[in-house]
Amino acid sequence: MSVTIKTPAEQDKMRIAGRLAANVLDMIGEYVKPGVSTEELDRICHKYIVEEIDAIPAPLNYRGFPKSICTSVNHVVCHGIPGERRLKHGDVVNIDITVIKDEFHGDTSRMFFVGKTGVLGERLARICYEGMWLGIEQIRAGARLGDIGTAVQTHIEKNRFSVVREYCGHGIGRGFHEDPQVLHYGLPNTGVELLEGMTITVEPMINAGKRHVKLLSDGWTVVTKDHSLSAQWEHTILVTRSGYEVLTLGAETR
């Protein structure tokens, strides 16, 4: 698959899909509280996506994934499968939403705190959020993917956290995962050149401990090897001539 440049009409469809994905995260926040199961969060999101915004939950049955959203709790890095686990005070959870509307994808994730969260969980989420935005701020036509990765990695490691390297951002459009891969580490002025009309995700995953991860036997859930906390934020971005446009802004704003 090659990098796709979206036409103005396709960019408009990406804006709609991105806004709808953000709406799902805005909606689900009030339900993220002690005692709720991640299965229940999935059910609420599925109903909202299908019935309220008339869209398709992209993860459902994608390469065999069994649910409509990803819920990654505490030391789960990404692709957590919703299930019977009930959230408890102090948990941190990433909810990852991707919807399809008129054939185009909107992809975004956000960290949520369950009850009163500890200092480490809050700081990890904040540093990850800041790192994501520092990466996004590098985006413009003529910049390179390495500029994004350098900005993210520098901020994360300066704050004594680690960047997960096995999973990364990606191109997005009609396809859930398109070229190019968007690494959250790297060297400046290296990698693919960004072109006006490209749409990509920036979605750093960072760990409180070491960067190493492992894939569980379910074939999806990724956890930190040292059982340390993990955090992730994600936005879908349109590359413009002079900079960038975030397509998945919601109530979570800078």
| pLDDT given at position 38 | 98
The residue ranges of every structural domain in the chain are 8-246
Handedness of CA 223, 93, 15, 190 (dihedral sign): negative
Residues of the chain with pLDDT under 50: none
pTM listed for this prediction:
0.96
Q: What is the pLDDT of residue 89?
A: 96
* pLDDT at residue number 251: 79
Torsion of CA 57, 63, 66, 67, to 10 degrees: -20
Give the per-residue pLDDT at 103: 98
* CATH 3.40.605.10 for the 8-246 domain, yes or no: no
- The pLDDT assigned to 252 comes to 64
Residues 6+ apart with CB under 8 A from 164: 77, 184, 204, 205, 206, 207, 211, 213, 230
Taking the C-alpha atoms of residue 152 and residue 196, their distance in angstroms, rounded to an integer, is: 22
What pLDDT does residue 22 have?
98
Q: What is the pLDDT of residue 1?
A: 53
Backbone dihedral region for residue 126 (phi beyond 0: left; psi -120 to 50: alpha; all else: beta): alpha
| CA neighbor of 77 nearest in space, from 217, 182, 233, 186 | 233
